[in-house]
């Protein structure tokens, strides 16, 4: 009876260790899914909602959408735990090699969104257009350094 128990304990230990390995992998995949969701939200805000609001000179709407970007930028770094890559992630490994540089980008986007919101508050159409472009550039700046190109269709 006793040796059998010991063996069972070993089996349990192995299962626990394997469980942890699988769980860590799952967490990395979850982060990829969550951050892509967040990026999609960024994109629909900037490329669709904000673009429309700028065209329609809907200044209140612009301010509201800037808040969404600010919230996203507060969360984004948590969604890049060390080494979280998956087969369909476009995140570059350089993110974790140059974390100090990577982690500065959300603050730049934040600042650009705050400046756009401030321009919207004054109702200055020209300033809004300039700030809107600057916001787009701030997003792109992180992508240029840390996002891999899109894989070719079908690969
Ligand atoms: C800190 C760097 C950083 C900032 C800032 C940033 N992004 Fe990204 N973005 C990334 C990375 C890295 C990926 C790839 C993530 C992956 O595939 O795992 C990405 C992916 C995306 C995607 C593709 C999502 C998908 O499903 O493949 C879109 C769209 C996007 N970002 C839009 C934006 C917009 C709009 C902003 C600005 C409001 C922004 N991003 C700010 C780093 C950033």
Instruction: Map out the domains of the chain with their CATH numbers.
Output: 2-146 (1.20.120.10)
155 residues of the chain, pLDDT tens digit each: 566 667 888 887 787 777 766 666 666 778 999 999 998 988 888 888 999 999 999 999 999 999 999 999 999 999 999 989 988 899 999 999 999 999 999 999 999 999 999 999 999 999 999 999 999 999 999 999 999 998 766 54
Is the CB of 147 inside a 6 Å radius of any atom of ligand 1?
yes
In the chain, the largest separation of any two C-alpha atoms, in whole Å, equals 83
Regarding the beta carbon of 111 and ligand 1, being less than 6 Å apart is answered no
pLDDT for 44 equals 82
**Residue 27 near residue 81, CB atoms below 8 Å:** yes
CB of 70 shorter than 6 A to ligand 1? no
pTM of the shown model: 0.84
CA of 143 to the centre of ligand 1 (A): 6
Torsional sign, CA 104, 105, 110, 116? positive
């Amino acid at each position: 009876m006793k040796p059998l128990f010991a063996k069972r304990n070993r089996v349990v230990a192995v299962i626990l260790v394997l469980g942890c390995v699988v769980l860590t992998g799952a967490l990395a995949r979850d982060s990829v899914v969550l951050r892509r969701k967040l990026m999609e939200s960024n994109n629909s805000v900037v490329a669709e909602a904000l673009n429309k609001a700028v065209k329609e000179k809907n200044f209140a709407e612009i301010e509201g959408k800037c808040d969404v970007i600010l919230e996203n930028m507060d969360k984004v770094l948590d969604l890049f735990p060390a080494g979280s890559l998956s087969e369909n992630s476009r995140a570059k490994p350089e993110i974790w090699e140059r974390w100090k540089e990577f982690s500065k980008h959300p603050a730049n986007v934040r600042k650009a969104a705050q400046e756009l919101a401030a321009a919207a508050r004054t109702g200055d159409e020209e300033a809004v257009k300039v700030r809107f472009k600057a916001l787009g550039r701030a997003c792109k700046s992180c992508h240029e350094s840390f996002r891999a190109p899109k894989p070719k269709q079908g690969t």
